[in-house]
Chains A and B, each alone.
Chain A
Amino acid sequence: MSPGGADPARSGGGAVLLDFLYALRERRVPVGLQEWMALLEALALGLHESSLTAFYHLARSILVHSESHFDAYDQAFGQVFQGIEADALQLTDELERWLADPAMLRYLSPEEKAALEELDLEELRRLLEERLREQQERHQGGNRWIGTGGTSPFGHSGYHPTGVRIGGSPGNRSAAQVAALRRYRAYRSDLVLDVRQVKVALRKLRELRRDGRQDELDLERTVDETCRNAGELELVWRAPRRNNVKVLLLMDVGGSMEPYARTVSQLFSAAKQSRHFRDFKAFYFHNCVYRQVYKDAWFREALPLAELTATYGPSYKLVLVGDAMMHPLELMEPGGAIDYWSYNQTPGIEWLGRLARAYERRVWLNPEPPRFWAHVTVNAIRNLFPMFPLTLEGLEGAVGALVKGKRARGAGGYWPG
């Protein structure tokens, strides 16, 4: 482990290392020059002990700053140092997501649905595994990417369809094997959302003002006043700084939102529990906002939109949650409302436009992944509201847009690709 031999600039290993850097950046791991220089410094000091496994851990500790990027790191490492096919990994990921997500069934034709119902889940799983096995055998035998599918969407965890070699203690595993295990997949920030994580994201939504009871000692003025008072102690108090953010949340509870009920309720409880907002109000709507919104998810108590914008003025930040996906008529035409007993004179897009004009700081959170956003009504709504996916990453973007405010006028938000 002579430091000279480890110097990447001289040993010619620099090209591979650079590949690794760009593979990380491609996967949106925020690695900058500073971390990179630190890694080179560490390599020059011989901290990697001339072993790939040690390098794997050393580079990870320096280049990655959050367990949510460990999975992307594993993928990048696998790609550069072992030639594990990242695409194949992505394929299994996508399959799993597809199978785990009942919402996807909406895109099937009735015939396909019927065919699917005839297949029982066991059979489906067996077929899938057979396919994957065949596919793997066509690739090189030592490839381990299937082994990462250990948690199947059907809950049969721990089953490894192929003879994946996981023998020996973890210490004996090669770095590429460790990387290929992709144990940190559950920590990815673009996939998981739980109440605490949402709270963390929402905490960034703040504007500090001095407000409330005066119980903080104002030192500067105390000194001033004491001097003015010829040395006789004169204490001056002031109010502490408090968050001044007011949030108005409108949630779609239409039928197409059912698959996301859990995610949306997590967002709701996180926002509700976040005591640092000065005010938080939530209302419901069905598919599209028309003349009124509702105070409960069962549409019993209505609140006209005009009253909503009058009561909760422009100082509120508006957050809409919905899949923005409906029949174009529902959005564009008078009388398009999905509830047949309510005829709307004004089309939904106009009502949404009124909302958008009433709130300068507004975002739309869409639980659908951005790759499904290419839909006429989604696009129409994105012209009015900056739209973000309802993931941790998307939520952070949305909070950023809400805090900056002015920039968020018109279209904006998250654009896939």
Chain B
Amino acid sequence: MFGKKKTPILSPDFHRFAGTEGYITSAPLEQAVNASVALGRPLLVKGEPGTGKTVLAEHAAQALGMPLLRWQVKSTSKAADGLYVYDTVQRLHDSRFGDADVSDIGRYIKLGPLGRAFKAEEQTVLLIDEIDKADIEFPNDLLYELDMMSFDVIETGEHVEAAHRPVVVITSNNEKELPDAFLRRCVFHYIDFPDRELMDRIVRVHFPDIEDRLLADCIAAFYQLRDVPGLRKKPSTSELLDWIAALRRSGIDTAKLALQVPFLGTLIKNERDLELVAAAAGRRR
């Protein structure tokens, strides 16, 4: 019905992802994950730093009951490295010093995360983290393999075909724009910064025994900080969690949070931003 489109490998109860105990989702996010699983398309996740893009893959894997394979992309990463690496230098070395069987090329083929996901016995979740760190052409080089779910090892002539289409989660920090051809094949989700209500629930997941008043004060002070105009880097969820941990450990009286923020360094990490915050606090007093 849809041309050459592959049939997604669906289990009857594909509609499975609904967050886990340690990860609170929103309905749109659940929908995006489930659409990605059902359609067999990679899920591209963007959002402010610290909104839990990477953690999402971990918890999706946990919720779907699949092992997680992680591919941390760096500026020097090449798409082919994700499939396999042919360690020529090792082979040259072995041929020179003759302490191994050089004729077996397979010994020098090392599968990358994508290759391992294809070869796995069961369906896996593959996290391609920070895809925008790599060269601009990187995503395009992955297109064919992600589409066909197979690749050839040129050196040995081996053909690797995925027994199970992995659930691919890709995160991007927007450092580079991704190519259109790649985007067209993805299901896209943008993680909004949580509103106060959602933030309340998120913090409670991490600190189940937190007092209501402390939490309310912290969240109020936190959003006040985020509202300071002109901040270069607004504090994020993970920084709020660090800050609350520091506050609780020190046992500081939190009644004056609106006036003075202790451990400000856990929230604001830029000198110019610190000045802005100080100026804004001065105006409120």
Q: Which residues of A contact B (CB under 8 A)?
A: 30, 32, 34-35, 37-38, 40-42, 45, 47, 53-54, 57-58, 60-62, 64-67, 70, 169-171, 183, 196, 200-201, 203-204, 217, 219, 222-223, 226, 231-233
- CA–CA, A196 and B177, complex, Å: 12
* B:92-131 near A, CB below 8 Å: 92-93, 95-96
**Cβ contact within 8 Å between A65 and B188:** yes
Q: Indicate whether B41 reaches chain A with its CB closer than 8 angstroms.
A: yes
Kindly list chain A residues whose C-beta atoms are within 8 Å of the C-beta of B190: 67, 70
**Cβ contact within 8 Å between A200 and B177:** yes
**Cβ contact within 8 Å between B92 and A171:** no
Kindly list chain A residues whose C-beta atoms are within 8 Å of the C-beta of B142: none
Contacts A203-B176, A219-B88 given; indicate if A57 touches B39 (C-beta within 8 A): no
The residue in chain A whose Cβ has the minimal distance to the Cβ of B97 is: A233
Kindly list chain B residues whose C-beta atoms are within 8 Å of the C-beta of A34: 184-185
**Cβ contact within 8 Å between A66 and B89:** no
Q: Indicate whether B5 reaches chain A with its CB closer than 8 angstroms.
A: yes
Chain A nearest Cβ from B270, distance in angstroms: 14
Chain A nearest Cβ from B136, distance in angstroms: 7
**Cβ contact within 8 Å between B35 and A42:** yes
Kindly list chain B residues whose C-beta atoms are within 8 Å of the C-beta of A233: 92-93, 96
**Cβ contact within 8 Å between B28 and A61:** yes
**Cβ contact within 8 Å between A222 and B92:** yes
Given contacts A57-B32, A65-B178, 18 further A-B contacts (CB under 8 A): A37-B3, A38-B41, A45-B38, A45-B39, A47-B34, A53-B27, A57-B27, A58-B35, A60-B188, A61-B31, A61-B189, A169-B197, A200-B177, A204-B136, A222-B88, A223-B92, A232-B96, A233-B96
Kindly list chain B residues whose C-beta atoms are within 8 Å of the C-beta of A203: 136, 176
Chain B nearest Cβ from A412, distance in angstroms: 22
Q: Indicate whether B44 reaches chain A with its CB closer than 8 angstroms.
A: yes
- CA–CA, A34 and B5, complex, Å: 10
Q: How large is the interface on B (under 10, 10 to 19, 20 to 34, 35 or more residues)?
A: 35 or more
Kindly list chain A residues whose C-beta atoms are within 8 Å of the C-beta of B184: 32, 34-35, 65
Q: Indicate whether B274 reaches chain A with its CB closer than 8 angstroms.
A: no
A-B contact pairs, 16 of them (CB 8 A): A34-B184, A35-B184, A37-B3, A38-B39, A41-B2, A42-B39, A45-B39, A53-B27, A57-B31, A58-B35, A61-B35, A65-B186, A66-B188, A170-B195, A170-B197, A183-B192
Cβ-closest 3 pairs across A and B: A65-B183, A57-B28, A61-B32
Chain A nearest Cβ from B28, distance in angstroms: 4
**Cβ contact within 8 Å between A200 and B175:** yes
1/0 per residue B38-77: CB within 8 Å of A?
A: 1101001010000000000000000000000000000000
**Cβ contact within 8 Å between A41 and B39:** yes
Q: Indicate whether B187 reaches chain A with its CB closer than 8 angstroms.
A: yes
- CA–CA, A38 and B39, complex, Å: 7
Kindly list chain B residues whose C-beta atoms are within 8 Å of the C-beta of A57: 27-28, 31-32
- CA–CA, A30 and B184, complex, Å: 9
Kindly list chain B residues whose C-beta atoms are within 8 Å of the C-beta of A40: 2
- CA–CA, A67 and B44, complex, Å: 12
**Cβ contact within 8 Å between A37 and B2:** yes
- CA–CA, A290 and B63, complex, Å: 67
**Cβ contact within 8 Å between A66 and B183:** yes
Q: Indicate whether B180 reaches chain A with its CB closer than 8 angstroms.
A: yes
Chain B nearest Cβ from A144, distance in angstroms: 19
**Cβ contact within 8 Å between B38 and A200:** no
Kindly list chain B residues whose C-beta atoms are within 8 Å of the C-beta of A45: 38-39
**Cβ contact within 8 Å between B176 and A200:** yes
Contacts A41-B5, A45-B38, A65-B44 given; indicate if A54 touches B183 (C-beta within 8 A): no
Kindly list chain A residues whose C-beta atoms are within 8 Å of the C-beta of B195: 170
Q: Indicate whether B174 reaches chain A with its CB closer than 8 angstroms.
A: yes
CB < 8 Å: which of A41, A61, A170, A217 contacts B188?
A61
Kindly list chain B residues whose C-beta atoms are within 8 Å of the C-beta of A47: 31, 34-35, 38
- CA–CA, A58 and B188, complex, Å: 10
- CA–CA, A223 and B86, complex, Å: 14
Residue of B36, B92, B189 with highest tally of chain A CB at under 10 A: B92
Contacts A57-B27, A219-B88 given; indicate if A200 touches B174 (C-beta within 8 A): yes
**Cβ contact within 8 Å between B5 and A171:** no
